[in-house]
């Protein structure tokens, strides 16, 4: 008869401690932040995003919308917004997210700040934005600003011109570290130089309240996005975040400053 060989107590204790350590420190969640163009282009369209999502295989997709775009069970609310899943009307990331969710039974959630569109509407955001930049342009092009503000106006124009001149051909280029760093500088200029110009030009001071509102809401919105992404890292193992590429630098750098059980990976590394 074969005798049962006992495992020494010391080995059992080691095994138990390893199991406890694994339970307390599970494998980190993977966050893949994909910057998009919000409108269909040759390098960012439904087909491209379908391919990327099938490559990354997330169990959760976060889309740049707030909860008002969803039903109570986190389906797109196409009753209130019948355009949401129609090509030519909806964003390519919304259509691709819905395609993937249906075929893979993945979860989908909003991660933008609650009441985003209500905030824009209640503050007449885009009308005031248009008015401010038009007035700055009128004074700047007419040479009616101080020497310092004239220099800042030229910097603002040049930064916008450089962005408009970018020739992006692939989604990977749109998400490159080089472009991310460039857009961080451009967005800093776009938000801060107009604020400085209107605060120091008497005839433009009427726009100072909006210039502060624009900058503060941009930062609050991005910080809320980061908080919302982190909320899901304990529940999901692989998360894709689809966001406009102007947000990407803020989200990546903000998450990298947080100590958490997650890692950030680019989509082309899968």
How confident is the prediction along the chain (270 residues), in pLDDT tens digits per residue? 444 445 455 544 544 544 544 455 579 999 999 999 999 999 999 999 999 999 999 999 999 999 999 999 999 999 999 998 988 888 999 999 999 999 998 999 999 999 999 999 999 999 999 999 999 999 999 999 999 999 999 999 999 999 999 999 999 999 999 999 999 999 999 999 999 999 999 999 999 999 999 999 999 999 999 999 999 999 999 999 999 999 999 999 999 999 899 999 999 999
Tell me, yes or no, whether 99 and 135 share the same domain.
no
Long-range contacts: 162-169, Cβ < 8 Å, 24+?
Answer: 162/186, 168/41, 168/43, 169/42, 169/43
203 within domain boundaries: yes
Tell me, yes or no, whether 101 and 177 share the same domain.
no
From the centroid of its chain, how far is CA 81? 22
Residues 203 and 139: beta-carbon distance below 8 Å = yes
Tell me, yes or no, whether 80 and 127 share the same domain.
no
**Total-model pTM:** 0.87
For residue 37, the domain's CATH number is: 3.40.1010
Tell me, yes or no, whether 32 and 86 share the same domain.
yes
154 within domain boundaries: yes
The number of domains in the chain is 2
- Say if strands 29-36 and 238-244 run parallel, antiparallel, or are unpaired: parallel
Tell me, yes or no, whether 158 and 137 share the same domain.
yes
**Domain extent for 127:** 122-207
Long-range contacts: 2-7, Cβ < 8 Å, 24+?
Answer: none
């Amino acid at each position: 008869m074969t005798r049962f060989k006992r495992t020494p107590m010391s080995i059992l204790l080691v095994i138990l401690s390893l199991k406890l350590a694994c339970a307390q420190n599970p494998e980190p969640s993977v966050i893949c932040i994909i910057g998009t163009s919000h409108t269909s282009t040759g390098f960012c369209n439904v087909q491209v995003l379908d391919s990327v999502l099938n490559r990354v295989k997330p169990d959760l997709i976060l889309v740049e919308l707030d909860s008002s775009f969803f039903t109570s069970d986190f389906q797109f609310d196409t009753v209130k917004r019948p355009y949401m899943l129609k090509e030519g009307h909806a964003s390519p990331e919304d259509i691709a997210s819905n395609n993937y969710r249906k075929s893979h039974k993945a979860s989908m959630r909003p991660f933008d700040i609650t009441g985003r569109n209500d905030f824009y509407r209640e503050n007449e955001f885009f009308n005031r934005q248009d008015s401010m930049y038009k007035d700055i342009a009128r004074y700047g092009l007419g040479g009616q600003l101080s020497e310092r503000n004239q220099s800042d106006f030229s910097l603002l124009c040049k930064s916008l011109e450089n962005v408009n001149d970018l020739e992006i051909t692939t989604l990977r280029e749109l998400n490159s570290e080089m472009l991310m760093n460039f857009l961080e500088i451009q967005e800093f200029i776009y938000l801060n130089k107009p604020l400085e110009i209107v605060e120091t030009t008497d005839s433009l001071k009427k726009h100072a309240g909006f210039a502060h509102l624009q900058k503060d809401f941009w930062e609050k919105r991005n910080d809320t996005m980061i908080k919302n992404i982190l909320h899901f890292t304990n529940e999901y193992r692989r998360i894709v975040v689809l966001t406009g590429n102007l947000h990407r630098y803020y989200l990546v750098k903000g998450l990298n400053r947080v100590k958490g059980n997650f890692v950030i990976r680019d989509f082309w590394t899968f």
